[in-house]
Chain A
Amino acid sequence: MRLAGKVALVTGAARERGIGRGIVLALAEEGCDVAINDVAAEGEGAELAELVRGLGRRSLFLPADVSERGGVDALLERVLADFGALDIVCSNAGVAAWQPFLEVTAEEWRRQFGVNLTGCFNVCQAAARVFVAAGRGGRIVVTSSVHAEMPFPEMAVYGATKGGVRALVESMAGELTGHGITVNHIGPGWVQTHINESALQTDEDVGQTLALIPAGRSGEPHELGRAVVYLCSTDADYVSGAYLRVDGGFIAGKY
């Protein structure tokens, strides 16, 4: 097992059809104890923690809103108290909305910025401070998106938060790698999770989307989890500030 004895925190991880769940299970399969965070979905979070414990790992569901710094600081303290250590933090919590640029509302702007960027900043800075204080290095992996490098219509705010995440990851990497902390982000393409529910409502929607993907299918949350495992493993000791696109060739082709 590549992550035996490690302790990880994954945010935005409770939902049954979510990348966060895929990351939690992939980490647990490699020997990691996992603290599962989400802002809601307590039943799903508790069920996921039970699944992880069934794999022989320690796990707890710890609710908190990542856009609120006080809650994030308390979350990190709780993880340290309950698990005794922290080695890996996956800032995965994210929300999305489809709105034309001219129609974006202040409310929707703040919701997406608050979770996707401020939440990422809160979680990563709090984690980095814990890692630096412990002096044992660490791993930070952020779930960004193909939007970090290619923009899409009607997703100005979501895409821009992911562009901002790219900047934050590279900034963090420049400063933290010297402390033995690598910081990277993964770029999911189309993954059939709840975040896409409003966009893909008919078989025709789904068919049209899949036709744009060279791999001919959407990604699975577990595949994103395996990418995170790689970045958290010793195989990736020299990888920092990097972006790993996991999109079935979506951005590279085909037109």
Chain B
Amino acid sequence: MRVAGVGGALRALLEERARDDVLVVAAGTGVPGAFLDLQGSDWEAGVAAIEAAFFAAQGFARERVEAGSGGRIIFLSSPAAVLPVGGMTLASVAGSFLTTVARVAAVELAPTGITVNVVVPGFLAGEADERLIPGIPSGRLGEPEEIAEVCSFLASPAAAYVTGAVLVVDGGFSITKSAGGSPFLGSGLAFEQRCSQNKT
């Protein structure tokens, strides 16, 4: 698959799946931190990543329309776009922005045979803080392979009728509030205290 704005182990897994008619695109998670403390430069960097993702998708869509044989665009969002997560304002804004773009593009591009969907990867092993685990109903971080498999499904003929959808792959994290807070707001002690309070 073609990939834009995706990093880490997931990028390699997606690139291994060779498909020129599929683009997986992300805008990153932005600089973590409290809303009140976000600097103008942090915001601008986040905006630049969102803009790059938008135009990567647009450019790819134009190519596929020109080719006349359909295609697949998959935007990667964030659990913070489904349910606000403290200290993840930029991830939340980026994910929500691109989710709406995906849904509008899905409607506009459907007649061309291009589907546009959103995958929400949860917190992944090798990247995310393990202190989040008590807040994840599945009791573990996700594996990048699990995200790549969902992308493969959306790219497959079996998903030809899926467009404008948002597939959340996060072990149940964003369904409800359970334990925990956010490691990005510091005070891991407060996080752990809340975890133990919820266990009693």
Contact = CB atoms under 8 A, between A and B. Distances in A.
Interface string A93-136: 00000001110101001100100011001000100110010000
Contacts, number: 113
B108 interface: yes
Interface string B94-127: 1111111101110111000000000000000000
Contacts of B43: 118, 121
A163 B92 CA distance: 10
A110 B51 CA distance: 8
B89 interface: yes
Interface residues of A, number: 41
A237 interface: no
Contact of A155 (B55, B81, B104): B104
Contacts of A132: 36
B35 A151 contact: no
Interface string B37-70: 0101001000100110011001001100100000
Contacts of B55: 106, 109
B84 interface: yes
Contact of A161 (B34, B58, B97): B97
Contacts of A176: 35-36
Interface stretch (A27-35, A46-54, A79-87, A164-172): A164-172
Interface string A146-160: 010001111111011
A164 to B, nearest CB: 4
Interface of A: 69, 100-102, 104, 106, 109-110, 113, 117-118, 121, 125, 128-129, 132, 147, 151-157, 159-164, 166-168, 170-176, 241
7 contacts: A109-B55, A147-B100, A154-B108, A162-B100, A167-B97, A170-B92, A172-B89
